[in-house]
C-alpha cells in the first residue's frame, strides 16, 4: 500500500449576471423620520449575505452609518421588481439599483440641509457618522435625522430615491453566436494538492491554494465565506456527489444523506486564499459576482492533481475511488506493488 501525492492547477473566469443580460432589478430608498433609511427590495438572501452587503452599499452612497440602514425584503407588494438571486447577479444588479436610489435620496436630503444651514448643497458632505456638515467647517452641522424631520414636517419634501439597473439584453446571432454574455468577469486559479491511496483509490485533498479576482471585495469576510464554502462544494462535486451513480442508467439513485455523499468536517483540506481586485466598469464600487465561481476551479485542479500523483486520467465526475482504482490497476501500479 502506498499513498502518492500530486499537484494540479486550474484557471477560470466567470460572468456576472444573467447570461445575455435583460435582468433588471429595482430598489427604493426612503428616509424615516427616526434617522433610518429603508431600502425596499424584493430580492432574496440565500445565505450569501445580500442583506448585509446591500446595507453597506447604501451606507457608502449616502455617507451614513451602516447601522442606520434597514433592508426590507422580500415582498412583491412592497418591494419593486427584482429578477431574482441567481447567476451571481445580486451584488451587481441590486447594488447598482441601490446606488441610484440612494443618490437621489441623498440629493433630496442635502437640499433640505442646505436650506436649514443656509449654504449651497454643494458645500455639504455627510460625515459617515450620522451628520451633515459643511465641508471644511465641520462644526457647522446637523444630524441626518434632523434634516429628515425638517424635510417632512417643515419643507414638505420627500427624502427618497428610486433606482433600477438593467444590462440591455443581447440576442445571439444564430449562425455565429455573436453575443454579449456579460459586462464583466471574475477570475480564479486553484492549485490543488492531493494524496491518492493506491490500494483503495481514495483521494484525500491535502490543500487548496487559490487566488480570486473579484472586482471589489465589498465585505472581505463574506467574500471569504463564498470562497471557503465554494471550494468545499467544488471538492464535493469532484470526488463525491451524484444523483445517478451509474449515469446514464438511473439505478441506485440516492435518497438520503447516507447515500448522497459529501465530505464531512474531517475531510476538508488546508485552505489558503488570496484576493485580487480589478474593479469592473459597471459594478457597484467595481464589484463582480463571485458566489458561483468559487466552486469551479477546484474541480479540474483536483482531477489534474490525481493525474500528477498516479498517472490516471478520470475524465468523468465524480472521480470516485472505484474509477481511480480501476485506472491504477490498468496501469499495473497496484499489481507491481503487490508483487513486492
Partner 1 sequence: MARVPVTFTVNGDEQAEFIAPGALLADVLRDKLGLTATKIGCAQGTCGACTVLVDGELKLSCLIPAERVEGASIETLEGLAKNGAPLHPVQAAFAENFAAQCGFCTSGMILAAKTLLDRNQEPDRAAVVDAISGNICRCTGYEPIIAAILAAAAEMRGRKSA
Partner 2 sequence: MEHVKQFFASERPEGLKAVGVSEPRSDIHGHVSGQTRYYADRTFPGMLYLMMVRSPHHHARILSVDTSQAEKVPGVVRILTHKDVPKNVYTILCLIQVEPDDEPCLAADKVRYKGEQVVAVIADSVAAAREAVARVKVAYEELPAVFDVEEALKPGAPLVNEFHGQNWFVYEGHHCRRVRHGDIDKGFAEADFVIEERYQSSPIEHAPVETTGCIVVPEANGRYTCHSNTQALFFTLDNSALILNQPFQKLRLVGGTVGGGFGGKVDVIVEPIAFLAAMLTGRPVKYAFSREEEMQVSSPRAAERIYVKDGVMRNGRIVARQVRLYVDAGAYSRHSPYGTTKAAAHMPGPYTIPNVHVDCHCVYTNRTPSSAMRGFGVTIGDFALEVQMDKLARLVGIDPIEFRIRNAYRDGDMKAHGETTKGAALIETIQAASTLAGWPLSDEARRASSTAGVVR
52 lines the binding site for partner 2 (CB under 8 A): yes
Q: Which of 202, 213, 292, 322 is catalytic?
A: 292
Residue 332: exposure state from Cβ atoms within 10 A (0-12, 13-18, ≥19) = exposed
Window of 7-15, 161-169, 255-263, 320-328 that interacts with partner 1 by CB under 8 A? 255-263
Please select the residue that binds partner 1; options are 34, 76, 176, 258, rule is CB under 8 A: 258
Note if 292 is an active site residue. Answer: yes
Give the dihedral sign, CA 221/224/226/228.
Answer: negative
Q: Report the nearest approach of partner 2 to the CB of residue 88 (Å).
A: 9
Window of 138-146, 158-166, 312-320, 332-340 that interacts with partner 2 by CB under 8 A? 312-320
Cβ-based neighbour number of residue 48 at 10 Å: 20
Please select the residue that binds partner 1; options are 118, 156, 221, 315, rule is CB under 8 A: 221
Please select the residue that binds partner 2; options are 2, 168, 316, 335, rule is CB under 8 A: 316
Q: Please, which of residues 111-140 interact with partner 2 by CB under 8 A?
A: 128
User: Which of partner 2, partner 1, none interacts with 68 (beta carbon under 5 to 8 A by kind)?
Assistant: none
- In which element (H, E) is residue 220 found? helix 220-239
Q: Please provide the size of the chain in residues.
A: 340
Please select the residue that binds partner 2; options are 118, 281, 338, 340, rule is CB under 8 A: 281
Whole-Å CA distances, 244 to 203, 241, 249, 262, 322: 20, 9, 7, 14, 15
The CA distance from 310 to 313, in Å, is: 9
Contacts of 135 (CB under 8 A, 6+ apart): 123, 124, 125
Cβ-based neighbour number of residue 165 at 10 Å: 22
Please select the residue that binds partner 2; options are 122, 257, 266, 338, rule is CB under 8 A: 257
Furthest-apart CA atoms within the chain: distance in Å: 93
Q: Please, which of residues 39-68 interact with partner 1 by CB under 8 A?
A: 46-49
Of the pair 115, 260, the CB lying nearest partner 2 is at 260
Window of 29-37, 96-104, 173-181, 258-266 that interacts with partner 1 by CB under 8 A? 258-266
Ramachandran bin of 47, using left for φ above 0, alpha for ψ from -120 to 50, beta for the remaining angles: left
Q: Which active-site residues does the annotation give?
A: 292
Return residues touching partner 1 (CB under 8 A): 46-49, 221-222, 224-225, 228-233, 256-258, 262, 264-266, 268, 271
Amino acid at each position: 500500500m502506498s499513498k502518492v501525492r500530486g499537484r494540479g492547477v486550474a484557471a477560470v473566469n466567470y460572468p456576472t449576471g444573467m447570461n445575455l443580460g435583460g435582468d433588471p432589478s429595482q430598489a427604493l430608498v426612503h428616509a424615516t423620520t427616526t434617522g433610518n433609511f429603508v431600502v425596499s427590495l424584493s430580492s432574496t438572501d440565500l445565505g450569501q449575505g445580500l442583506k448585509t452587503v446591500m446595507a453597506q452599499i447604501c451606507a457608502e452612497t449616502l455617507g451614513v452609518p451602516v447601522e442606520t440602514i434597514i433592508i426590507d425584503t422580500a415582498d412583491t407588494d412592497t418591494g419593486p421588481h427584482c429578477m431574482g438571486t441567481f447567476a451571481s447577479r445580486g451584488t451587481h444588479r441590486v447594488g447598482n439599483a441601490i446606488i441610484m436610489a440612494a443618490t437621489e435620496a441623498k440629493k433630496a436630503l442635502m437640499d433640505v440641509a442646505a436650506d436649514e444651514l443656509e449654504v449651497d448643497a454643494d458645500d455639504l458632505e455627510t460625515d459617515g457618522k450620522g451628520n451633515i456638515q459643511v465641508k471644511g467647517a465641520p462644526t457647522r452641522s446637523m444630524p441626518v435625522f434632523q434634516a429628515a424631520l425638517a424635510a417632512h414636517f417643515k419643507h414638505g419634501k420627500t427624502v427618497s430615491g428610486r433606482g433600477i439597473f438593467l444590462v440591455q439584453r443581447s440576442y445571439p446571432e444564430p449562425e455565429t453566436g455573436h453575443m454579449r454574455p456579460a459586462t464583466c468577469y471574475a477570475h480564479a486559479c486553484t492549485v490543488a494538492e492531493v494524496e491518492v491511496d493506491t490500494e483503495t483509490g481514495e483521494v484525500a485533498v491535502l490543500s487548496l491554494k487559490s487566488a480570486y479576482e473579484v472586482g471589489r471585495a465589498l465585505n472581505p469576510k463574506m467574500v471569504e465565506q463564498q470562497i471557503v464554502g465554494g471550494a468545499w462544494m467544488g471538492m464535493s462535486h469532484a470526488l463525491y456527489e451524484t444523483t445517478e451513480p451509474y449515469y446514464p442508467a438511473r439505478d441506485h439513485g440516492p435518497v438520503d444523506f447516507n447515500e448522497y455523499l459529501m465530505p464531512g468536517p474531517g475531510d476538508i483540506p488546508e485552505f489558503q486564499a488570496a484576493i485580487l481586485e480589478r474593479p469592473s466598469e459597471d459594478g457597484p464600487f467595481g464589484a463582480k459576482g463571485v458566489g458561483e465561481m468559487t466552486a469551479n476551479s477546484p474541480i479540474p485542479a483536483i482531477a489534474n492533481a490525481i493525474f500528477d500523483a498516479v498517472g490516471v486520467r478520470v475524465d468523468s465526475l465524480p472521480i470516485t475511488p472505484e474509477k481511480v482504482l480501476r485506472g491504477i490497476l490498468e496501469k499495473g501500479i497496484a499489481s507491481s506493488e503487490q508483487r513486492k
